[in-house]
Amino acid sequence: MLLKSNTINKFLRIFCVFLCMKFSSFETVGQQNICLTIKNNPSKNSFGVYAKTNFTQSKFRFSSAQISIVLPTIASNDKLTIHNVSNGNWVEKSKASSPEVDCKRDYIGLWLVDGKYDFIANEETLLFEFSLNKKVLIDEVRLFENKEDPKASELGMKSIDFSNLLIDEDGNHLYKFNYFDSNNSKKNYIDTAQDVELVLNPTIVKNNFNIFLKGVEENDEVSLLVVTERGTTIINTITTNKNIIARVFRVPDDIPSQNLIVRVKVKKTLISKRLVLARE
């Protein structure tokens, strides 16, 4: 009887582990997420922001939602003209115009005041449209990139977090990433292509460091910005990759130990990396 009891207990433990693994996998596979894209309507000089979900649900509500737009400075002197659709009410809430960290662009945060949407899995749903008073190139209007664009602490961003944010009524963060509209002849926001790589040597410095760009030709134009985490600009220049490779960069002696942000733009690709400044 004791042997039989031990066998049953062992079987029950194995069965419980199996159930836990099974339900855990269901939770991972079933996690809801939303991706965003932006499309241009040339005839109206307007742009639409679309959501693509991996789930189907009618009358879906967000508890909190922010989508941020990046525009050339010349295009956003006034507030955006927003055209709401699908029972959504989006409003312009925050703006950083020509911040020192990126003086050629404006960052605009739009918040959802109220609204509900009918989502169908793997299909695009128009969230809202907006129009501009001035003509701009398609690829100059894009969505904010959470991992690549300036953070709230960077110079000129007014301590505003422009990160895209989509939270459901249960508190789950659903925003995943931005994607390109394959039907557009041009990409409509900065490409974070994998064939361009930023390498810092060393990554922990006292004074001097080097910058290398993989996948970039010697004569390609490179915009380089190095700032402290407190927003002090150390380097801000436009040069060629050849000059970048040949140069030894130096951090001024009066800058205390902290993280530095190295940002380069080349071939419409924007890349940022952190450099640790370690001084005694």
Selection from 156, 148, 162, 161 nearest residue 100 by Cα: 156
Q: Which domain holds residue 213?
A: 197-277
Does residue 79 surpass a pLDDT of 80? no
- Are 104 and 160 contained in the same domain? yes
**Domain annotation covers residue 100:** yes
Selection from 224, 40, 199 nearest residue 130 by Cα: 40
- Are 164 and 261 contained in the same domain? no
- Are 173 and 264 contained in the same domain? no
Which residues on neighbouring strands pair with residue 119, listed in sequence order? 57
Instruction: Give the model's pLDDT for residue 217.
Output: 86
**Domain annotation covers residue 53:** yes
Instruction: Give the model's pLDDT for residue 57.
Output: 92
- Are 134 and 87 contained in the same domain? yes
Does residue 160 surpass a pLDDT of 70? yes
Does residue 18 surpass a pLDDT of 60? no
- DSSP state string for 205-255: ESSEEEEEEET--TTSEEEEEEEETTS-EEEEEEEEHHHHHHPPEE--TTS
- Are 161 and 215 contained in the same domain? no
Selection from 233, 224, 208 nearest residue 263 by Cα: 224
- Are 165 and 51 contained in the same domain? yes
Based on its alpha-carbon atoms, the radius of gyration of the chain, rounded to whole angstroms, reads 24
- % pLDDT > 70, the chain: 78
Q: If pLDDT is split at 50, 70 and 90, which confidence band does 112 have?
A: very high
**Domain annotation covers residue 14:** no
Token pair, residue 72, equals 């050339």
- Are 153 and 123 contained in the same domain? yes
> What is the number of structural domains in the chain?
2
Does residue 28 surpass a pLDDT of 70? no
- Are 169 and 221 contained in the same domain? no
Q: pLDDT tens digit string along 183-216?
A: 443 433 333 344 678 888 888 888 899 999 888 8
- What's the gap between Cα 34 and its chain centre? 14
CB-count exposure of residue 40 (10 Å: 0-12, 13-18, 19+): buried
- Are 161 and 225 contained in the same domain? no
